[in-house]
Chains A and B, each alone.
Chain A
Amino acid sequence: MSTVATAPRTRTADPARIVRRVEQLMGMPVSLALRGRHARTRAAEAAWAEVVTDLRWVDRVFSLWRADSAASRLRRRELTLAEAPAEMTEVIEIAEQAERDSAGAFSAFLPTTDGSLAFDPTGVVKGWGVERAARFLRELDDTDFCLSAGGDMVCSVARADSPPWQIGIEDPHDPTRLVARVPVTEGAVATSGAAHRGSHVVDARTGVPPTGVGSVTVIGPSLTWADIDATTAYALGAGAADWLRTRSGSGLVVWADGRCEVVEPSQSAGTSSGA
């Protein structure tokens, strides 16, 4: 690992050193990279503290690993939606939109072992929560940031002379390798796959984990939707690239056999033909 600390940043035009923070939140490492005016200031420390506080709040409200969270109580029908924080409604509305967009493959109501459906906002909350928490970092003027929660991130570049953030996309078959890199100045990158904790994504219609696909990465303007779209495409297995092509972000599908397929933004939502 020591090579990392000493390696020159050969392709990065910005001479400013990147300042990093990492904290365990929502059961995963949350990493922040900052560069620019406020990278080392108290304002940045305060913003990072706000991000951490905000994500802890998200965890307290939405985690199903906490029996006393609003989501857990809602799931057990001990709480009504009206009694839950307003953000619960926001998350559910996003999940309903995602369900419509995916013909039901994505859902906040997942099959349980007894065959019934149970409320599970987990697929929305991570991307939504991190995108939301990034608002504190946007207040740092003249400062670039990249905020990542377990491999899903929001990137922002505030200065005209800043290079884009260089995001490496991990090989789902070998976490010590990359399959791609993507330069991002403003936007989000999310990857869904089974590399680190086994299969936890299922098609909501069948409850069956996908086959044929190793991981799906989506690059788009919103982490909420990049995360949802990556999860949905991954859950669709062999249909991942075809479905992703109907969406507005770009992406990368790594198939189970190791092939990499780059997916461009859908033409219907994208550019028209040349003038």
Chain B
Amino acid sequence: MTPGTRLVTWLLSTITVVVLLFGYHTSTAGALLSATSVVEAPQAGADTGTAGSDNGSSGGGSGSGSGSAGSGGASTASGTVTGPTVQTRWGPIQVEISVDGGAITDVGVPVYPADNPRDVEINSYALPILVQETLDQQSADIDMISGATVTSVGYVQSLQAALDEAGL
């Protein structure tokens, strides 16, 4: 995998950051109020991924001051929106999204660093998405569990044991 394709993969995985930049003046402004979001009551249920993305994206979006691009970002918007070229430590990045009825239908990356030897580091941008899920709710799409060090005894009760059981 070349650095370029890996970069695009990252951009796709963190695209909600850009959406929030565009939607700064609209319904998601609350998620960008501070550099760090403290959420006391995470939303449960089917929309946890989306709700959580709002929380997580506050980090990536802050500091860039890109709210001025917000005209296309309302949740019901349609059309194509091209974001500003943002200077990152890896070079300039610009993202273009196509939105239909508030849903992203296509993502383009017109500007990205041509030479990006530190592509691996980009992924440190991935932010935790707050959720509140039980074993049954999460089992469908969680690949691995991160938690305080699991001993052999504790392991049999752990979520990771369930995942391993499912895959073996």
Contact = CB atoms under 8 A, between A and B. Distances in A.
A132 B140 CA distance: 30
B141 A12 contact: yes
A61 B136 CA distance: 40
Given A167-B142, A187-B123, A215-B148, A262 B59 contact: yes
Contact of B162 (A4, A251, A259): A4
Given A181-B52, A185-B123, A187-B123, A192 B148 contact: yes
Contacts of A193: 147-148
B58 A264 contact: yes
Interface in B85-117: 85-89, 92
Given A168-B145, A271-B63, A275-B84, A10 B140 contact: yes
Given A4-B139, A183-B13, A31 B125 contact: no
B62 to A, nearest CB: 7
B80 interface: no
B148 A251 contact: no
For chain A, the bracket of interface size reads 35 or more
B168 to A, nearest CB: 6
B147 A215 contact: yes
Nearest to A264: B59
A31 B58 contact: no
A182 interface: yes
B147 A20 contact: no
Contacts of A160: 1, 5-6, 8-9
A20 B163 contact: yes
10 contacts: A3-B136, A24-B152, A180-B128, A180-B129, A248-B124, A260-B39, A265-B125, A267-B35, A270-B89, A275-B92
Interface of B: 1, 5-6, 8-10, 13, 35-40, 42, 49, 52, 55-56, 58-60, 62-66, 84-89, 92, 119-136, 138-152, 154-155, 157-168
Those 10 A-B pairs whose CB atoms lie nearest each other, nearest first = A264-B59, A20-B167, A170-B147, A193-B148, A196-B154, A195-B148, A180-B128, A187-B123, A168-B142, A252-B128
